[in-house]
Amino acid sequence: MHLAFPHRALFSATLGGAALVAAGAGLSNAAPLEVLNRVESSFGHPPFLEWGKATEDVYQRDHGHADYSAEIHYDLGLYFFELGEYELSLKHYRRAAEVDPGFSEAYFGMGLLFYTLGDDDNAVHFYREALERKPTDADTRNNLGLIYYRQGQLAQAREQIEEAVRLQPIFPDASYNLGLVYYQGQDLSAAVVHFLAALEHDPTYLRARFNLGVVYFELGMLDLAQEQWVAIQQSAPGTALANQAAENLSLLGSE
């Protein structure tokens, strides 16, 4: 039995593509469920200005031609990225890098932009440029790991995301992503550890709870799987995720 789950746009912190299907590994012969394959990207560094209307006012006042600092160009790049004006966003990120070649945020911004557009080669290039300037940035390592995950390069994905967690131990999104990486690699015990870590740091992380239930199901721990999906129904009744949890709970009756 397979469950189908909708995918959201990357801007909602999601990668597109087919949902992962469990390989059936584990302690039982339970019918495989589909993991909710919605990896979490990091939006990145907070803007340097008071973001939003103040940034727009700066741009409108000077028509984008002023000799801004790297920080202001970064803010404008982020502003236009949010608007979906990707050419203008890229223009300001590039200008930020020209003004200050050591400014890692500019390269992170370009990496995120190309990642959003599905241009993995350019995204990897700019994320690596960012890491050359700031190798301790957990957001960059998390996002670089997600590109490798999207490409099926699980060892490289695991390396980058594990380093993100080492650098920033309380990083629920990275812990969740590691759960997906280990699940894809059929290491269900490790997937449990990382989904649990995401929930420890953020008990409201329902996607982690949902996928934890899937892994428990495949390990034959049906009571624990039921506990996770019931908890979703109780905490988020009427949502799409609660409905999906209900569908999975209906499968338990056939076991």
pLDDT tens, residue by residue, 123-164: 999 999 999 999 999 999 999 999 999 999 999 999 999 999
Which residue matches tokens 């727009």? 56
- State pTM to two decimals: 0.78
pLDDT value for 37: 67
Q: What angle do CA 217, 9, 154 make, to 5 degrees?
A: 55
Cα separation, 4 vs 100, in Å, equals: 46
Asked if 241 and 217 count as a contact pair (C-beta separation under 8 A), the reply is no
Residues of the chain with pLDDT under 50: 1-32, 50-51
Q: Return the structure tokens found at 82.
A: 């949010």
pLDDT above 70 coverage of the chain, percent: 73
Domains and CATH numbers, the chain: 1-38+169-255 (1.25.40.10), 42-164 (1.25.40.10)
Which residue matches tokens 């982020």? 78
Q: Return the structure tokens found at 37.
A: 């394959």
Residue 204's CB is within 10 A of a number of other CB atoms, namely 10
Q: What DSSP element (H or E) covers 123?
A: helix 120-133
pLDDT value for 15: 26
Residue 151's CB is within 10 A of a number of other CB atoms, namely 12
Closest CA to 107 of 118, 120, 117, 98: 98
